[in-house]
């Protein structure tokens, strides 16, 4: 469309010139004593146009001639800038490819090129960021080559070149890399210090939280690590199964760090509701509370939601069924009779609901033994003892059978039961 418009315009101009110049009879007389020159008006107009064109071209040629030194200087500066950026790109490429010596040399070459530009009085507008990135690549290469002195030197130079506000993002990147290097050197305190130096927004980024989680776990700061893992799970930094596994592991570490019942209760209170409902966590916490001579009633209270899940969906609780059975059993000898009686009813109801489950038969037998229901205890233990898959439960069942035999005065049966327990 544009070409058609230009063509029509050209035709219109040609027609206008033909109409005006074709019938133009005007002349122009120039007097230059003693001479007189007569020329047509059309020729004069052509001469004026030609003179203007020649003069314009001459001025442009002179301007280009006088601008050649500046253009040459600008070309040299452009080549230096290109060489600087090329060296920095090469440094990044070599670093990503694992050629750390070449990466260091390329980064140092970029620094030399930038310094030459600065010394010539033509500083780059983004010189600070370029220097910071060059020092960062050099420090990263030195870290890979186990050259701590060179790394620290260039790290400090990178921080100095990002001190102003415009380079805040670059500075945060340098601090994150420094935290990761400290983590690689197994220096958790230094890594946490670098992370604490970040701004509030940067410290809550996924990368910073991942580094903080690793540093906190390395420093054995279980509670801060657990809080960081919760944030990462909230931000969906892990898959659902991985997040649950990490939270479960940290919750178990928090429980294991308690050395008396009061510490264990505080640790339990610091767990979120979803973590308290994790079977492994609740079972382990209840079992440990009983081991520490704590409140058995409180331990049973922690176990109650897990027990209800186990009864409602026994096929989905196989992985932690044995631990749950042992945790419930561990409190029988220490609880008062009222608490034991309530759990006796729960165990009996569960065993009657699923009479072929050897684990429930075993637990019901141990509960009856606790309440001196000798006959029922022997019956249930006899039914379960050869079906139990867990060696510890089978050994405990044989010891209970030996205790029952001693109680009724059958020493031969007691010795046989002890022998069976020893061979498990």
Give the residue-averaged pLDDT of 50-61. Answer: 91
Q: Which of 15-19, 65-69, 90-94, 250-254 has the lowest average pLDDT?
A: 15-19
Q: Is the dihedral of CA 272, 278, 279, 285 positive or negative?
A: negative
pLDDT score of 373 more than 80: no
- How far is Cα 141 from Cα 158, in angstroms, rounded to an integer? 14
| Average pLDDT score over the chain | 84
Q: Which pLDDT score is estimated for 326? A: 81
pLDDT per residue over 230-252, tens digit each?
Answer: 999 988 888 888 989 999 999 99
Q: Which of 79-88, 96-105, 214-223, 294-303 has the lowest average pLDDT?
A: 294-303
- How far is Cα 347 from Cα 307, in angstroms, rounded to an integer? 10
Q: Which of 301-305, 329-333, 402-406, 408-412 has the lowest average pLDDT?
A: 329-333
Task: Supply the pTM of this predicted model.
Answer: 0.73
Give the residue-averaged pLDDT of 138-164. Answer: 91
Q: Which pLDDT score is estimated for 315? A: 60
- How far is Cα 22 from Cα 317, in angstroms, rounded to an integer? 107
Give the residue-averaged pLDDT of 323-340. Answer: 64
Instruction: Specify the higher pLDDT residue, 32 or 112.
Output: 112
Tokens read off for 390: 């867990």
Tokens read off for 103: 């990466």
pLDDT per residue over 39-49, tens digit each?
Answer: 777 777 788 88
Going by C-beta distance under 8 Å and a sequence separation of 6 or more, which residues neighbour residue 315? Answer: none
Domain 336-424 has CATH 3.40.309.10: no
3-state secondary structure at position 36: strand
User: From the CB of residue 221, how many other CB atoms can be counted at a distance below 10 Å?
Assistant: 16
Q: Which pLDDT score is estimated for 328? A: 77
Percent of the chain beyond pLDDT 70? Answer: 94
Q: Which of 111-115, 161-165, 260-264, 284-288 has the lowest average pLDDT?
A: 161-165
DSSP for 330-365, written as a single string: HTTTTS-HHHHHHHHHHHHHHHHHSTT-HHHHHHHH
Give the residue-averaged pLDDT of 137-152. Answer: 92
CB 250 within 8 A of CB 226: yes
User: From the CB of residue 282, how many other CB atoms can be counted at a distance below 10 Å?
Assistant: 28
* Residue-range domain boundaries for the chain: 28-62, 77-118+127-162, 169-237, 244-325, 336-424
CB 284 within 8 A of CB 252: yes
pLDDT score of 329 more than 80: no
Q: Which of 26-40, 52-66, 267-281, 309-323 has the lowest average pLDDT?
A: 309-323
Tokens read off for 29: 């007389």
pLDDT grade for 339, boundaries at 50, 70 and 90: very low
Instruction: Specify the higher pLDDT residue, 271 or 328.
Output: 271
Give the residue-averaged pLDDT of 153-175. Answer: 89
Q: Is the dihedral of CA 70, 72, 75, 81 positive or negative?
A: negative
- How far is Cα 278 from Cα 398, in angstroms, rounded to an integer? 31
Q: Which pLDDT score is estimated for 143? A: 93
Separation in Å, CA 167 to CA 127, 128, 130, 207, 286: 11, 8, 10, 19, 52
- How far is Cα 268 from Cα 288, in angstroms, rounded to an integer? 11
Give the residue-averaged pLDDT of 153-170. Answer: 88
| Closest C-alpha among 398, 396, 393, 424 to residue 413 | 398
pLDDT per residue over 74-117, tens digit each?
Answer: 888 888 889 899 999 999 999 999 999 999 999 999 999 988 88
Q: Which pLDDT score is estimated for 337? A: 43
- How far is Cα 172 from Cα 160, in angstroms, rounded to an integer? 13
The winner for highest mean pLDDT among 17-26, 71-80, 354-363, 378-387 is 71-80
Output the furthest CA–CA distance in the chain (Å, rounded): 163
pLDDT score of 354 more than 80: no
């Amino acid at each position: 469309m544009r070409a058609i418009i230009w063509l029509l315009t050209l035709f219109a101009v040609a027609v206008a010139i033909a109409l005006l110049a074709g019938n133009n009879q005007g002349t122009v007389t120039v007097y230059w004593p003693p001479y007189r020159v007569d020329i047509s008006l059309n020729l004069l107009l052509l001469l004026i146009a030609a003179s203007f064109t020649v003069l314009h071209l001459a001025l442009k040629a002179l301007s280009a001639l006088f601008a050649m030194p500046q253009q040459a200087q600008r070309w040299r500066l452009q080549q230096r800038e290109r060489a600087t950026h090329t060296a920095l790109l090469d440094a990044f490429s070599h670093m990503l490819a694992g050629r750390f010596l070449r990466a260091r040399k390329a980064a140092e070459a970029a620094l030399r090129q930038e310094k030459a530009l600065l010394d010539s009085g033509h500083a780059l507008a983004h010189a600070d960021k370029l220097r910071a990135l060059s020092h960062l690549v050099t420090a990263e290469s030195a870290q890979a080559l186990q050259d701590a002195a060179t790394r620290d030197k260039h790290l400090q130079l990178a921080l100095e070149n990002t001190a102003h506000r415009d380079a805040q993002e670059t500075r945060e990147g340098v601090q994150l890399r420094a935290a990761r290097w400290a983590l690689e050197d197994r220096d958790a305190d230094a890594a946490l210090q670098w992370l604490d130096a970040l701004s509030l927004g940067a410290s809550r980024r996924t990368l910073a939280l991942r580094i903080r989680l690793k540093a906190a776990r390395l420093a054995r700061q279980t509670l801060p690590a657990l809080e960081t893992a919760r944030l990462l799970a909230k931000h969906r930094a892990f898959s659902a199964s991985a997040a649950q596994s990490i939270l479960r592991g940290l919750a178990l570490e928090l429980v294991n760090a308690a050395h008396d019942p009061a510490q264990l209760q505080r640790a339990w209170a610091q767990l979120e509701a979803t973590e308290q409902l994790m079977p492994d966590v609740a079972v382990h916490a209840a079992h440990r509370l009983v081991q520490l001579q704590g409140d058995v009633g409180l331990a049973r209270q922690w176990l109650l939601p897990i027990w209800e899940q186990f009864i409602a969906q026994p096929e989905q609780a196989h992985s932690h069924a044995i631990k749950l059975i042992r945790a419930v059993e561990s409190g029988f000898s220490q609880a008062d009779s009222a608490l034991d009686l309530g759990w006796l009813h729960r165990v009996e109801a569960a065993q009657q609901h699923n009479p072929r489950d050897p684990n429930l038969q075993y637990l019901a037998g141990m509960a009856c033994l606790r309440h001196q229901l000798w006959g029922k205890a022997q019956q249930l233990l006899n039914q379960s003892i050869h079906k139990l898959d867990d060696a510890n439960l089978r050994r405990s069942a044989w010891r209970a059978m030996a205790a029952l035999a001693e109680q009724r005065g059958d020493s031969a049966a007691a010795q046989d039961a002890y022998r069976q327990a020893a061979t498990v």
